């Protein structure tokens, strides 16, 4: 069987040289020990023995120096293998000369000792030198053939038999060495293939990560740029609602516009949820919570939606308590119920609980179209939707289940999916049960309960887009506020100097022109005035790194598009000194 052709001969030769030099210390050490034993044991002229041993020491020392140079130089140079082969040839010639110089005529004992020593050295070369055939054959032939020739020219039959046996043994050793060399080379080539495959896989992984990063950057940029006009429209629609008054036709059109803006906002919020989860700014605050209030809120939220589609929504509550983040759990279940209603044409949706040992499985059943087995491993992928090639926006973006999977991971919850085509599906989230606890019936204060009159409050608004400034100004003026607008820090500070009054609060966009950002603007303004003015950060960014920066700033955040009611509620809360969170 011929050897496979290596695609990189230089690379293969370098690896063969590495094997030679790796085996060299044992080979050289063992060879010197045998040389000393042979010199002492064979009774030939002392000057012959000493001269031969001196030559062996010199050759061994030269080979040791070669090994040391190899270890300190460029080991990729293919000439190292050839240099090792020359060293093997020199050593083989010396051992072969021993078969002539130390041959003791008339003493079969010493002749057999010499013969076995030489055959042993030849055998050891199979292990040490077969990685590189020129080195192996150079040592084998030069060390064995001289003693075979001496035996062949001896007149008696015994020596001729020994000569024949020596030749046969050499041939067998050469064949065995060839097979071992083939296995070694094949092993080296397989290892090269594995290394190259790993490198290729890592390259493909890097390309995939780059493509994913590019996709994320594109989505973040597109989301930011699209959120800007939608944010302005949402604020202008609220102003328009006040302008049209009670005119039925105009009011109906405004309601349609507001509903469309709200629908676009929900799509943007799905992208935002994914970005916040990927950015690692969402932390699960696990605590003991009762299931019943979560079910009550889900029923209140989705009952009218299900009724509008002609579906029955049933929630079988439980008195169980689980360990979970209440906000994240409700968001995950809301996504599951929303999906179930969305993809169920007739029948209904059932939400219930089942105890499984120490866990509680919260299950959402539907009588929808079901999921084909081929798609069950893909439904949690971002933007994956079944039977929506036209990308109907009423079906969302295909992010709901991706969000559920990420939330479950944050809460260490297990997700289970069962589905039968044309019969329906079941999604389950399993959470650890915990003992029930007494709850405080006193409701926590909300932004609504702390809302104060905004009449006459001076609010500074900073945004580098004029249309956004106008939209926010219009909304704030409807709240009864006085508004001071600017497009950046310098413009704001100059306007405040002219106005001669410190604003009650600041509303600033996160991303401003010339590399400026809202966080830095708030810090500069507070230093300039010498007071911690309440501030709100408004952003349309969904890039994970920007979300992390915004979340860690400590400022309350509104994500575009912002509903006027939400803006009013948060502004009232910060003016009242109420602690608020990002919305």
SS3 label, residue 536: strand
311, 266, 318, 312: which is closest to 296 by C-alpha?
318
CATH superfamily, domain 215-281+452-583, is: Response regulator (3.40.50.2300)
Q: Residue 324: its pLDDT value, please?
A: 85
Paired sense of beta strands 424-434 and 557-559, if any:
unpaired
Q: What is the pLDDT of residues 12-34, one digit of tens each?
A: 888 888 888 888 888 888 889 98
Mean pLDDT, range 305-313, rounded to an integer = 88
Quick one: 237 exposed, middle or buried, by C-beta within 10 A (0-12, 13-18, 19+)? buried
Measured in degrees and rounded to the nearest 5, phi and psi for residue 542 equal -125, 5
Contact 177, 126 (CB under 8 A): yes
Mean pLDDT, range 419-431, rounded to an integer = 88
CA distance linking residue 492 with residue 464, whole number of Å: 11
Which range has highest mean pLDDT (141-145, 153-157, 573-577)? Answer: 141-145
Q: Is 90 exceeded by the pLDDT of residue 513?
A: no
Q: Residue 75: which pLDDT band, with cuts at 50, 70 and 90?
A: low
Q: What is the pLDDT of residues 294-306, one digit of tens each?
A: 888 888 888 888 8
Mean pLDDT, range 83-91, rounded to an integer = 89
SS3 label, residue 534: coil
Q: Residue 468: which pLDDT band, with cuts at 50, 70 and 90?
A: confident
**Which run of H or E residues covers position 508?**
strand 505-509
Q: Residue 226: its pLDDT value, please?
A: 64
CA distance linking residue 76 with residue 15, whole number of Å: 8
**Token pair listed for 201:** 């896989």
Q: Residue 220: its pLDDT value, please?
A: 61
Q: Is 50 exceeded by the pLDDT of residue 451?
A: no
Q: Residue 93: its pLDDT value, please?
A: 92
Architecture of domain 287-434: 2-Layer Sandwich (3.30)
Q: What is the pLDDT of residues 528-564, one digit of tens each?
A: 888 888 999 888 776 666 667 777 777 888 877 787 8
Spell out the residues 6+ positions from residue 488 whose beta carbon is closer than 8 angstroms to its own. Answer: 462, 464, 512, 513, 514, 516, 521
The residues with which 432 forms a beta bridge, in sequence order, are 359
CA distance linking residue 93 with residue 121, whole number of Å: 12
pTM of the prediction?
0.47
Q: Is 80 exceeded by the pLDDT of residue 57?
A: yes
Q: Is 80 exceeded by the pLDDT of residue 495?
A: yes
Q: Is 50 exceeded by the pLDDT of residue 393?
A: no
Spell out the residues 6+ positions from residue 575 whose beta carbon is closer than 8 angstroms to its own. Answer: 452, 454, 457, 504, 505, 534
- How much of the chain, in percent, has pLDDT values that exceed 70? 80
SS3 label, residue 460: strand
Q: What is the pLDDT of residues 231-276, one digit of tens each?
A: 677 777 777 776 766 677 776 777 777 766 666 666 566 555 555 5
Sign for the pseudo-dihedral over CA of 268, 273, 274, 280: positive
Spell out the domain ranges in the chain. 9-154, 215-281+452-583, 287-434
Q: Is 50 exceeded by the pLDDT of residue 388?
A: no
State the DSSP code for 511: B
Out of 50-54, 60-64, 388-392, least confident range: 388-392
Contact 474, 480 (CB under 8 A): no
């Amino acid at each position: 069987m011929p050897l496979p052709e290596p695609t990189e001969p230089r690379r293969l030769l370098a690896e063969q040289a590495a094997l030679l030099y790796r085996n060299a210390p044992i080979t050289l050490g063992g060879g010197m020990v045998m040389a000393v034993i042979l010199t002492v044991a064979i009774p030939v002229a002392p000057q012959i023995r000493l001269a031969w041993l001196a030559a062996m020491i010199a050759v061994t020392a030269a080979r040791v120096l070669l090994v040391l140079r190899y270890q300190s130089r460029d080991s990729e140079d293919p000439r190292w293998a050839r240099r090792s082969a020359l060293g093997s040839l020199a050593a083989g010639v010396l051992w072969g000369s021993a078969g002539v110089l130390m041959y003791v005529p008339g003493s079969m004992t010493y002749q057999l000792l010499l013969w076995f020593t030489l055959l042993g050295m030849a055998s050891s070369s199979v292990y040490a030198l077969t990685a590189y055939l020129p080195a192996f054959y150079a040592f084998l032939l030069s060390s064995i053939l001289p003693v075979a020739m001496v035996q062949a020219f001896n007149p008696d039959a015994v020596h001729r038999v020994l000569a024949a046996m020596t030749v046969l043994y050499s041939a067998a050793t050469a064949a065995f060495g060839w097979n071992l060399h083939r296995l070694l080379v094949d092993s080296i080539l397989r290892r090269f293939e594995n290394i190259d495959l790993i490198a290729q896989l890592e390259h493909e992984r890097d390309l995939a990560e780059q493509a994913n990063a590019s996709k994320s950057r594109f989505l973040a940029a597109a989301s930011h740029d699209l959120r800007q006009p939608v944010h302005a429209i949402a604020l202008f629609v609220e102003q328009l609602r006040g302008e049209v008054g009670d005119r039925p036709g105009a009011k109906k059109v405004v309601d349609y516009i507001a509903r469309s803006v709200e629908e676009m906002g929900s799509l943007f919020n799905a992208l935002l949820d994914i970005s916040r989860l990927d950015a690692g700014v969402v932390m699960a605050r696990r605590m003991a919570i009762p299931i019943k209030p979560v079910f009550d809120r889900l029923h209140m939220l989705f009952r009218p939606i299900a009724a509008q589609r002609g579906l029955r929504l049933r929630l079988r509550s439980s008195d169980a308590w689980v360990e979970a983040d209440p906000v994240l759990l409700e968001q995950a279940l809301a996504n599951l119920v929303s999906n179930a209603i969305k993809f169920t044409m007739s029948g209904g949706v059932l939400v219930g609980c089942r105890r499984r040992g120490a866990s509680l499985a919260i299950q959402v059943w539907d009588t929808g179209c079901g999921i084909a087995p081929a798609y069950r491993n893909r439904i949690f992928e971002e933007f994956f939707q079944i039977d929506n090639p036209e990308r109907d926006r009423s079906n969302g973006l295909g992010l709901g289940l991706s969000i559920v999977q990420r939330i479950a991971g944050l809460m260490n919850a297990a997700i289970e999916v069962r589905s039968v085509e044309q019969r329906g599906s079941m999604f389950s989230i399993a959470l650890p049960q915990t003992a029930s606890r007494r709850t405080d019936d006193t409701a926590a204060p909300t932004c609504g309960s702390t809302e104060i009159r905004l009449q006459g409050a001076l609010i500074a608004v900073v945004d580098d887009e004029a249309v956004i400034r106008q939209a926010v100004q219009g909304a704030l003026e409807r709240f009864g506020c006085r508004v001071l607008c600017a497009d950046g820090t310098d413009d704001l500070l100059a306007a405040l100097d002219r106005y001669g009054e410190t604003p009650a609060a600041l509303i600033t966009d996160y991303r401003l022109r010339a590399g400026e950002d809202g966080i830095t603007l708030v810090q500069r303004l507070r230093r300039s005035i010498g007071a911690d003015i309440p501030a709100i950060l408004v952003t349309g960014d969904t890039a994970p790194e920007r979300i992390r920066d915004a979340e860690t700033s400590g400022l309350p955040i509104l994500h575009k598009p912002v509903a006027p009611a939400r803006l009013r509620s948060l502004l009232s809360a910060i003016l009242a000194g109420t602690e608020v969170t990002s919305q």
